[in-house]
């Protein structure tokens, strides 16, 4: 630097300030620091989540060996000496819910996205998209009660041969969760489809391809990473869904294959939600169990979200 | 040509290949009757899928209205809950509790969310690792299940470092943290939509950066920010899972207060009625759902109206 016109302490560091600036503006700096604190809060929140999960989880694994937790097949915490802490039944139950919900949400969401992105008139789009958003914004308690009181009797009427012993069933809960995540699947995959450049479509049309061919053979492969991201996000949302499964899937801890849709199950989230109510004493094994399951849930959803973000970034990079 | 196999197939070439393949297949492949039927059936199937989704929405709305309509009266809003008399029980403490909690949420998310968004859009240097970390982190937080925020609330806010106890203020903080990413992302979109020329004009006239922000950028982006805040609030209103964990389950008969005593919230009270085996209580829960949905639909339509009314095209 050949010349320096500023002589105030600490003012020379900023390159943005014009050379003729007279006095350092402390107010501006304080404001910037405050805004940075607001943004930094999110990192604090994440750290707080990790800390609040880890400490009790360590306490839990001092009592229960990690192999019993991960590979044990019997889940009955909170029964004193008879307790057993195999988390598999709740994990399998969660995956059952995920399987059923994806079976509903992926075809409906994906096909709706095709329609909205490739076929729908702009006016139709403008009406239908907000309606789907409303569906996505309905409180999960409402969807849970809807599943229990409407979908469950409907399912028993439509498929009477399945043997509906319990009023709770993971099939019904899974369908409700699927309905809930349809808007997520359709909006994320529609974004991906719309970001496919027009030139690709036009090129295919110019070669005589039909509209269906363009959708299936050009738009679909071009948008595949966004579509996969949508499915991964939907999976993550279905894993973390609590109220619907708490109301409609029951609280029976058992390992059920995904085709026994009439069985009641208890998912990871339902376990946390039903056990953590009321005043449990800090430091007891029951208290720590909640956090151990919570940690597992957090790790599962976090890795799914990271994967989805990676995929979304990839399709953004390709076209923008 | 073995080495050619190794050249990196970027997204662009992959697309080009896909397009070319589709094109050539469509020209040189034969168009069977099956395919011609497909081009009629395909849009029909798409439309069917969309109709199914909307039918789900419609049947939920109709069902809750049919179930809850008989209990849609003044008692529903002004009476305290009861475990004995479903015919006259209501949601009064729950509605008040939700109002308190949401007031707290608004007070927290508006400054924090807008502040974070301004920092990330206007001040943050994207080359710095910590700014990228903050961005990545906010996106990740948006995907964390709400029940995990309940765990955070239980271990960090109700107990632990903050130690506030099972009060409505803890619920406000927990829900505010839960919806903060929504506000930040929406506010960032709104701030980004203000064209740089506005800022440059203001700076050229000698305004400082904060003067530019507070007098030009923020007023111009207020409708967008407000829309995001409303959407965040409507999410906070419907959220029940984290509240279950931080003490909102107690059957509250009295009017709650913000900083002391037991509290409950509308979705939690609905859940409480919903898990009772008697039909009457479930219908009561359905009536509560109507109240909640009415509030949410009103807020969402206001947000849409706001967006359309004040949307500025630069």
| Residues B59, B90 within the same domain | no
Residues B167 and B39 in one domain: no
Instruction: Check residue A1 and give its pLDDT.
Output: 40
> Structural domain tally of chain A?
1
pLDDT: which is higher, B193 or B257 = B193
Q: Higher confidence at residue A279 or residue A103?
A: A103
* pLDDT at position A222 over 60: yes
Say yes or no for a CB contact (<8 Å) between B54 and A132.
yes
pLDDT of residue B314: 63
Show the DSSP H helices in B193-278 as ranges: 196-204, 209-212, 218-238, 241-245, 266-274
How far apart are the C-alpha atoms of A231 and A236, rounded to whole Å? 9
- CA distance readout (Å), B95 to A143, B146, B213: 20, 21, 37
Which 8-state DSSP code applies to residue A219?
A: I
Per CB-CB distance under 8 Å, the chain A contacts of B111 are 38
* Partner-chain residue, chosen from B22, B112, B136, that has the shortest CB–CB distance to A38: B112
B82-86: average pLDDT: 78
Contact state of B208 with A210 under an 8 Å Cβ cutoff = no
Ramachandran class of B264: left when φ > 0, alpha when ψ lies in -120 to 50, beta otherwise: beta
Long-range residue pairs from A66-74, CB within 8 A, at least 24 positions apart, any chain: A69/A292, A73/A255
What is the torsion angle, in degrees rounded to the nearest 10, for the CA atoms of residue A174, residue A179, residue A183 and residue A189? 60
Region B119-123: mean pLDDT is 92
Give me the CATH number covering residue A241. 1.10.3720.10
Specify the pLDDT at position A185: 94
Query: Do residues B213 and B265 share a domain?
Result: yes
Q: Do A247 and B53 touch (CB under 8 A)?
A: no
User: Which is more confidently placed, A224 or B35?
Assistant: A224
Element housing B35 (H / E): helix B33-68
If one compares A20 and B261, the residue with the highest pLDDT of the two is B261
**CA-based nearest residue to A38, from B117, B174, B178:** B117
Instruction: Let me know whether B231 and B300 are in one domain.
Output: yes
Q: Do B145 and A297 touch (CB under 8 A)?
A: yes
- Cβ pair A188, A155 in contact under 8 A: no
Question: How far A303 CA lies from chain B's nearest CA (Å)?
Answer: 10
Does the pLDDT at position A319 exceed 70? no
Using CA coordinates, name the residue in chain A closest to B13: A318
Residue B90 DSSP SS3: coil
Which chain A residues are closer than 8 Å to B11 by Cβ? 314-315, 317-319
The whole-number pLDDT of residue A151 equals 92
Domain range for B7: 3-69
Q: For residue B270, which residues of chain A lie inside 8 Å, CB to CB?
A: 141-142, 145
Q: How far is Cα of residue B123 from the mean position of the Cα atoms in its chain?
A: 26
Chain A interface disruption, residue of B55, B145, B307, most A CBs within 10 A: B145
Tell me the pLDDT band of A280, cut-offs 50, 70 and 90.
Answer: confident
Confidence of residue A146 (pLDDT cuts 50, 70, 90): very high
- pLDDT grade, residue A73 (50/70/90)? confident
Asked whether residue A173 is domain-assigned, the answer is yes
More confident: B71 or B196? B196
**Percent residues over pLDDT 70 in chain A:** 89
In a domain, A242, yes or no: yes
Q: Is the pLDDT of residue B41 over 70?
A: yes
In a domain, A241, yes or no: yes
Nearest CA in chain A to B297: A134
Residue B191 CB neighbour total at 10 angstroms: 21
Interval B88-111 mean pLDDT:
91
CB contact under 8 A, A132 and B119: no
For chains A and B, count residue pairs whose Cβ atoms are closer than 8 Å.
323
Q: How far apart are the first and last CA of chain A?
A: 39
B149 and B44 share one domain: no
What is the mean predicted confidence (pLDDT) over A224-233? 91
The mean pLDDT value of chain B amounts to: 85
The distance from CA A191 to its chain's CA centroid, rounded to whole angstroms, is 17
pLDDT score recorded for residue B2: 43
C-beta of residue A295 within 8 angstroms of C-beta of residue A57: yes
Q: Do the Cβ atoms of A268 and A207 come closer than 8 Å?
A: no
Is A18 inside any structural domain? no
Residue A6 pLDDT > 60:
no
Residue A318 is predicted with a pLDDT of: 67
Distance from the Cα of B15 to chain A's closest Cα (Å) equals 6
Residues B43, B84 share a domain? no
B308 pLDDT higher than 80: no
Q: What is the mean pLDDT of chain A?
A: 86
Both tokens assigned to A184:
């997520």
Residue range(s) defining the domain that contains residue A159: 81-319
Same domain for B222 and B183?
yes
The pLDDT-based confidence of B3 (bands split at 50, 70, 90) is: very low
Shared-domain flag, residues B122 and B60: no
pLDDT bucket at A7, cuts 50 / 70 / 90: very low
Q: Binning pLDDT at 50, 70 and 90, where does residue A278 land? A: low
Closest CA to A64 of A296, A255, A269: A296
Share in percent of chain B as helix, strand, coil (round to 5): 75, 0, 25
Residue A42 lies inside a defined structural domain of this protein: no
A60 located within any domain = no
- For B236, phi then psi, to 5°, come to -65, -35
From B35, B69, B103, the end of a domain falls on B69
The total of structural domains in chain B comes to: 2
Query: Residue A175's pLDDT is what?
Result: 94
Q: Percent of chain B beyond pLDDT 70? A: 90
Q: Residue A320 above 80 pLDDT?
A: no
Enumerate the residues of chain A whose CB falls inside 8 A of the CB of residue B120. Answer: 39
Span A109-136, mean pLDDT? 89
Task: Answer yes or no: is pLDDT of A2 > 50.
Answer: no
Determine, yes or no, domain membership for A90.
yes
Q: Which of B192, B179, B189, B191 is nearest to B229 (CA)?
A: B179
In angstroms, rounded to a whole number, what is the distance separating the alpha carbons of residues B300 and B306?
A: 10
pLDDT in tens, A148-159: 989 999 998 888
Using the predicted structure, report yes or no on whether residue B178 has a pLDDT greater than 90: yes
Mean pLDDT in residue range A69-81: 79
Going by C-alpha positions, the residue among A36, A258, A274 that lies closest to residue B116 is A36
Tokens of A263: 């069985």
Same domain, B58 and B80: no
pTM to 2 decimal places: 0.85
Give B164 to chain A, closest Cα distance, Å. 14
DSSP A26: H
Q: CATH number of the domain at B280, please.
A: 1.10.3720.10
Q: What is the DSSP secondary-structure string of B102-151?
A: HHHHHHHHHHHHHHHHHIIIII--TTSHHHHHHHHHHHHHHTS-HHHHHH
Name the residue with higher pLDDT: B80 or B116. B116
Q: Are B25 and B81 contained in the same domain?
A: no
Total residues belonging to chain B: 314
User: CB B289: neighbour CB atoms within 10 A?
Assistant: 30
Question: Quick check: is A69 in a domain?
Answer: no
Tokens read off for A83: 């307790």
Give the alpha-carbon dihedral of B116, B117, B123, B128, to 10 degrees.
70
* Residue B273, pLDDT above cutoff 90: no
Reduced to 3 states (helix: H, G, I; strand: E, B; else coil), residue B311 is coil
Please give the ipTM for the structure prediction.
0.85
pLDDT at A68 over 60: yes
Is residue B29 very low, low, confident or very high in pLDDT (cuts 50, 70, 90)?
low
Taking CA atoms, what residue in A is nearest to B24?
Answer: A207
């Amino acid at each position: 630097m050949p010349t320096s016109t500023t002589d105030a302490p600490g003012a020379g560091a900023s390159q943005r300030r014009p050379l003729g600036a007279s006095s350092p503006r402390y107010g501006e700096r304080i404001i910037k620091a405050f805004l940075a604190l607001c943004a930094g809060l999110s990192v604090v929140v994440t750290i707080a989540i990790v800390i609040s999960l880890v400490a009790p989880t360590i306490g839990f694994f001092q009592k229960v060996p990690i192999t019993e937790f991960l590979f044990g097949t019997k889940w009955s915490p909170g029964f004193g000496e008879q307790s057993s802490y195999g988390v598999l039944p709740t994990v399998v139950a969660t995956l059952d819910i995920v399987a059923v919900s994806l079976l509903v949400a992926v075809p409906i969401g994906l096909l709706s996205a095709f329609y909205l992105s490739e076929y729908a008139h702009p006016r139709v789009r403008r009406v239908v998209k907000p309606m789907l958003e409303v569906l996505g914004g309905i409180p999960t308690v409402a969807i849970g009660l809807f599943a229990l009181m409407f979908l469950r009797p409907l399912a028993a009427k439509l498929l009477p041969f399945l043997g509906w012993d319990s009023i709770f069933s993971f099939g019904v809960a899974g369908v409700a969760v699927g309905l809930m995540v349809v808007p997520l699947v359709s909006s994320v995959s529609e974004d991906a489809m719309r970001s496919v450049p027009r030139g690709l479509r036009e090129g295919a049309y110019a070669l005589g391809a039909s509209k269906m061919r363009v959708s299936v053979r050009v738009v679909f492969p071009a948008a595949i990473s966004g579509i996969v991201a949508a499915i991964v996000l939907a999976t993550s949302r279905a894993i973390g869904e609590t109220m619907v499964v708490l109301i409609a899937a029951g609280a029976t801890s058992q390992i059920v294959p995904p085709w026994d849709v009439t069985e009641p199950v208890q998912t990871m989230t339902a376990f946390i939600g039903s056990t953590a109510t009321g005043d449990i004493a800090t430091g007891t094994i029951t208290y720590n169990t909640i956090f151990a399951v919570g940690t597992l849930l957090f790790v599962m959803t976090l890795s799914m979200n990271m994967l989805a973000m990676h995929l979304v970034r990839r399709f953004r990079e390709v076209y923008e | 040509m073995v080495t050619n196999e190794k050249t990196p197939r970027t997204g662009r070439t992959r697309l080009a290949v896909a397009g070319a393949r589709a094109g050539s297949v469509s020209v040189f492949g034969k168009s069977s009757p099956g395919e011609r039927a497909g081009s009629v059936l395909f849009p029909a199937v798409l439309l069917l899928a969309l109709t199914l989704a909307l039918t789900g929405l419609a049947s939920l709305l109709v069902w809750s209205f049919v179930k809850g309509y008989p209990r849609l009266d003044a008692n529903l809003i002004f009476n305290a809950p009861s475990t004995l008399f479903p015919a006259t029980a209501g949601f009064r403490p729950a509605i008040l509790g939700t109002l308190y909690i949401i007031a707290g949420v608004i007070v927290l998310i508006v400054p924090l969310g807008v502040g974070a968004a301004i920092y990330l859009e206007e001040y943050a240097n994207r080359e710095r690792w910590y700014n990228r970390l903050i961005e990545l982190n906010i996106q990740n937080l948006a995907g964390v299940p709400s029940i995990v925020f309940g765990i955070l609330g239980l271990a960090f806010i109700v107990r632990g470092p903050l130690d506030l106890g099972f009060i409505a203020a803890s619920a406000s903080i927990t829900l505010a943290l839960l919806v903060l990413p929504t506000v930040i992302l929406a506010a960032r979109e709104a701030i980004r939509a203000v064209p740089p020329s506005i800022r440059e004009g203001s700076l050229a006239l000698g305004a400082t950066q904060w003067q530019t922000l507070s007098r030009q950028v923020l007023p111009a982006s207020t409708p967008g920010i407000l829309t995001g805040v409303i959407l965040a609030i409507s999410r906070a209103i419907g959220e029940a899972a984290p509240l279950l964990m931080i003490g909102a389950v107690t059957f509250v008969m009295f009017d709650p207060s913000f900083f002391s005593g037991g509290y409950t919230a509308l979705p939690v009270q609905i859940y409480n009625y919903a898990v009772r085996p008697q039909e009457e209580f479930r219908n009561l829960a359905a009536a509560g759902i109507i109240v909640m949905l009415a509030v949410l639909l009103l807020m969402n339509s206001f947000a849409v109206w706001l967006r359309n009314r004040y949307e500025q095209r630069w």
